[in-house]
Amino acid sequence: MRIRFADSRPAATHALAITVAPGTLDGAGLSGLPESGRLLARTAASANRFDGETGSVVEFVGETDGVHRRLLLVGVGAKNDYERAGAALAAKLLVSGEKTLVVDISASASGSPVEAAVSLAFGAVLRSWRHDVYRTRLDTKQRPSLDEVVIVGGGADAPGLWAARESVAEGVMFTRELITEPANILYPQSFVERCRPLAELGVKVEVLGRDAMAAQGMGALLGVAQGSVREPQLLVMRWDGTSGTEPPVALVGKGVTFDTGGISIKPAAGMEDMKWDMGGAGAVAGTMKALALRKARAHVVGICGLVENMPDGNAQRPGDVVTSMSGQTIEVINTDAEGRLVLCDALTWVQKHYSPKTVIDLATLTGAMIISLGSEYGGMFANDDALADQLLAAGTAVGDKLWRMPLGDPYDKLIDSPIADMKNVGPREGGSITAAQFIKRFVDDGVRWAHLDIAGMVWASKPGATWDKGATGYGVRLLDRFIADNFEIKA
């Protein structure tokens, strides 16, 4: 979708939307319409019980500039949420037959018009994303028609600010693409190939295959992969916009491109959803793209542990003992608790090779997290209060919300093994916490670490404010904001 900013409304044929704040329908809120249009708008608003509530839309046909056209009122709410307003308009008109939408924010944009305009554009772009690659028989009325949004009233600085925000949108949409692709199309090697073009943006890409990982002693990750014909990959993406000597912030993503559960096989019902068990790695890849596109003045390395977990005759068995890259041994009680086995070796690798002071891992790790928090918050575990606060603030600012969960010695003891250093699962209760305790054992002393269990967040069964059903792109905005607020060199 193309975004343009203008000082005045274009003369071409288009739909017109007016942004409305609560309580302004009888005043300046409809100043962008002629008197006859205002009366019609108030009548339509009254009939729909509309008063500028966030993301609400009223549609009617009226005359402006001598032309009868589709007119819309969209609410920005008491908090001036232009992002949701833009998303609501995109959802309303995406397959409407309209090709161009003009949105006039002049009457409602109190505060910062440029921020309002850019936020509206951001919401519209995110909500309009679709993945129709495999849909060959779409009816004409089901196909997206809206291809341009023109925003009036944002001011001269809007295009410059939009360039940076658009980069984040591109990262979110890249993550959605990776998560949406089926497992026969997206597997460890093809995930890597999707990410190789990031090198054209200045990201340094390194890939370790099975032999290279075996030489590093990554027995935990390789144990998960041994039942699949797909070779595992450790994808390393480094963006350095500082040209300095400080160690990078490390982002580590679980990338199980399909998870059958292995020998501890999952129930058949719903197993198709396990194509998105690489959502953590997808978020890391999308973040790296966003940082590179907007030329972030930060030093970040993204690590994706990419495997497929299959129940082959060579697959890992419950009761096997594997040796991780850290030298710690793990009794594999359940082969469906595989993500932590991937993460622990990826964490060890990045700490050994880059010596980061801050590490964030992301994973669709446990069903227990969905039981705890549903799809409203990602779970966060951290060994540092300041780091936790930084992540909570970033999540709140962009809408990728987090909820901090506990850690502690009593939980840690639940994963002690009688024959190895640890088990890969504890009892049923506190399953998300014992998983985090497992990962924590692989974090070096002095390293600030947070584990984000995003199992309930990467895929949506119903439309949300800025996404349709399917992949949400959760994590990209969170990480980008976290980096921008806390690690980016200011101009």
For residue range 196-210, what is the model confidence (pLDDT) as tens digits? 999 999 999 999 999
pLDDT of residue 64: 84
CA-nearest of 127, 125, 276 to 191 is: 276
To the query of whether residue 340 is one of the catalytic residues in this protein, the response is yes
Confidence of residue 287 (pLDDT cuts 50, 70, 90): very high
- Which of 100-114, 125-139, 404-418 bottoms out in mean pLDDT, i.e. has the lowest? 100-114
Helix (H) or strand (E) holding 42: helix 35-47
Short-list 352, 325, 307, CA closest to 214: 325
- In this predicted structure, the answer to whether residue 28 has a pLDDT above a threshold of 80 is no
At 68, the pLDDT band (50, 70, 90 cuts) reads confident
pLDDT at 376: 96
Regarding predicted confidence, which is higher, 426 or 63?
A: 426
Write the pLDDT tens digit of every residue in 129-188.
999 999 999 998 999 999 999 999 998 999 999 999 999 999 999 999 999 999 999 999
Torsion of CA 165, 171, 176, 181, to 10 degrees: 150
Mean of all residue pLDDT scores within the chain = 96
| E strand intervals along 364-400 | 378-382
- What pLDDT score does 34 carry? 85
Give the chain's end-to-end CA distance (angstroms, integer): 31
pLDDT of residue 245: 78
> How would DSSP label each residue in 339-374?
HHHHHHHHHHHHHHHH--SEEEEEE---HHHHHHHT
Domains in the chain, ordered, with CATH? Answer: 2-155 (3.40.220.10), 166-486 (3.40.630.10)
Q: Which of 340, 423, 440, 481 is catalytic?
A: 340
Retrieve residue 351's tokens: 């700490």
Active site residue 295: no
- Tokens 């970033």 correspond to 394
Q: Please compute the mean of the pLDDT values over residues 58-71 and round it to a whole number.
A: 89
Backbone angles phi, psi at 387, to 5 degrees: -65, -45
Q: What is the mean pLDDT of residues 292-310?
A: 98
Dihedral angle at the C-alpha atoms of 134, 139, 144, 145, nearest 10 degrees? 140
Instruction: State residue 190's pLDDT score.
Output: 98
pLDDT at 74: 96
Q: Which pLDDT value is given to residue 486?
A: 98
Q: Which of 42, 69, 130, 266 is catalytic?
A: 266
Type of residue at 470 = G
pTM attached to this predicted model:
0.97
pLDDT value for 77: 95
Average pLDDT over residues 329-347: 98
Q: Which of 198, 395, 186 is nearest to 277 (CA)?
A: 186
The pLDDT of residue 349 is above 90: yes
Beta strands in 198-356 (DSSP E): 204-208, 233-240, 249-259, 299-309, 321-323, 329-331
User: What pLDDT, on the 0 to 100 scale, is given for residue 15?
Assistant: 95
Distances (CA, A) of 46 to 20, 41, 50, 104: 14, 8, 6, 21
In this structure, of 106-120, 227-241, 342-356, 376-390, the range with the lowest mean pLDDT score is: 106-120
The span from the CA of 470 to the CA of 2, in Å, is 23
Contact, 343 vs 254, CB < 8 A?
yes
CB atoms within 10 A of CB 430: 18
How many beta carbons lie within 10 A of that of residue 417, not counting itself?
Answer: 15
Q: What percent of the chain has pLDDT over 90?
A: 90
Residue 110 has pLDDT above 80, yes or no: no
Q: Supply the Cα-derived Rg of the chain in whole angstroms.
A: 24
**Percent over 70 (pLDDT), the chain:** 100
